[in-house]
Amino acid sequence: YTMLQKQGDDVAAMYQMMPQQKEAGAQSQWLSYIAVENVDEMADRAQALGAEIIAGPHDVPEAGRMVMLQEPAEGAHFALWQAKEHPGCHRELEANVPYWFELATRSSQRSRAFYSALLGWQAQDKPMEGMDYVLFSARDTVVAGMLQMSEEWGDEIPAHWMTYFAVLDCDAMADKARTLGGQVCVPPTDIPQVGRFAVITDPQGAVFSIIQSQMHDIEP
C-alpha cells in the first residue's frame, strides 16, 4: 500500500491488486471514498437498500475502517470510510489533487434515490448543455455530481464514479499524460462556466479526469 503525497500531505493512495482480484477480472480503477461516522451501520443500511458488499467492513490499521460497495442502480463501485488517524485528502482547491467526484449512470433516478436514502444527500437538478446533471449536497455543501449517460456512451462503458484532479493547464497536462504512456480518451473540452476538462487512461488502464476550473481559484 502506498500513500501519495503533495509536499508531505496525503492526497490519495494506491495498492497492488491481489491475485484473486485479477482472477475475478477486476480492472485498475480509481475508487471514491465517502466519509461516514459508522461504517458497519452504513454497510448494513446499504445492503438493505439493495447494495452488494464487495469487501469489508474491515480495519485499515490505525488509519480507519472501510467497506467497498456496489450500488444497486447500475453497479457502480464506491467505498465508505470511517476515519481514525487518516481523515482523507489533506489538501483541496490546489493543483494536482482530487477536486471533484462524479457518478455516471444510465439510471439517474434510481441512483438519486439510493444515495439520498443511504447518505441523506440532497439532490438538485443542474441544467447543463447537452446533458441531464444533478448536484449532490450534504449539510448544504455540494459534494458530488451525477450525469445521465446517453446513448452516445454506448453499452461497453459501465456506470462509474469518476475522480477529477484539478490542474492549472488542462492541455499541457493532457500532453504530459501522453508522453508518460497514458491515453487521452476525451481531449481537452470546454464546459461553459465550469472549466476545461479531459479524460485520461493511465498505462495500467485506470480512468480519471483532469479539470482546469473556472469555478474556483486553484492554487499551484
Residue-wise pLDDT for 92-102, tens only, equals 899 999 999 99
CATH of span 2-83: 3.10.180.10
pLDDT in tens, 138-188: 999 999 999 999 888 888 899 999 999 999 999 999 999 999 999 999 999
Report pLDDT digits (tens) over 103-116: 999 999 999 999 99
Mean pLDDT of the chain: 93
Per-domain residue ranges for the chain? 2-83, 98-213
Q: Are 143 and 121 in contact (CB under 8 A)?
A: yes
Angle at 102 between CA 173 and CA 9, to 5 degrees: 60
Sign of the Cα torsion 113, 117, 119, 120 reads positive
What is the average pLDDT across 198-217?
95
Domain 98-213: top CATH class:
alpha beta
Phi-psi region of 214 (alpha: psi -120 to 50; beta: other; left: phi over 0): alpha
The 8 Å CB, 24+ separation contacts for 173-178 are 173/198, 173/210, 174/198, 174/200, 174/210, 177/202, 177/210
**pLDDT band at residue 129 using 50, 70 and 90 as cut-offs:** confident
Counts of helices then strands in the chain (DSSP H, E): 4, 14
- Tell me if 2-83 shares its fold with 98-213: yes
Q: How far apart are CA 85 and CA 68, in angstroms?
A: 19
**14 or 26, higher pLDDT:** 14
pTM of the model: 0.93
Average pLDDT over residues 59-88: 91
Q: Is the pLDDT of residue 132 over 90?
A: no
pLDDT score for 1: 80
Number of Cα atoms under 13 Å in the Cβ half of residue 127:
0
